[in-house]
Amino acid sequence: MCRGIDRYSAVRLFRQSSRIPPTLCGFAALPMKVETQTGDFHGTRGRTIGDPEGLIDPLAPRVHVALRVDAERFVSEFTARIGGILG
């Protein structure tokens, strides 16, 4: 991870950014499912699952999912933009 930024903080920063340049991340259109139950034959409630083969639910909608992130560049650009806003 980035120096001085723990994983949780980096994920929060990433989620809060509203406009992500396409060169910053590797994206894929994947069918996604959200677990609604916890227990036997289920994952953890709220967990999102990518299903590239459509085996879990062939009718699941495809969504734009970030699979890779240039973390160093993201933190650098994010702090520069915030610095520009705060002056």
Query: Cβ distance 46 to 35 under 8 Å?
Result: yes
pLDDT of residue 8 exceeding 60, the answer is no
**How many secondary structure helices (H) and strands (E) does the chain include?**
2, 3
What confidence tens digit (pLDDT) does each residue in 17-72 have?
556 677 888 888 888 888 888 776 667 788 888 888 878 788 888 887 888 888 89
Asked if residue 34 lies in contact with residue 50, where contact means CB atoms within 8 angstroms, the answer is: no
pLDDT value, residue 42: 66
Please tell me the predicted confidence (pLDDT) of residue 59: 83
- Does this model's pTM top 0.75? My answer is no
Q: What is the pLDDT of residue 16?
A: 58
Q: What is the pLDDT of residue 40?
A: 65
> Shortest CA distance to 22 belongs to which of 55, 54, 69?
69
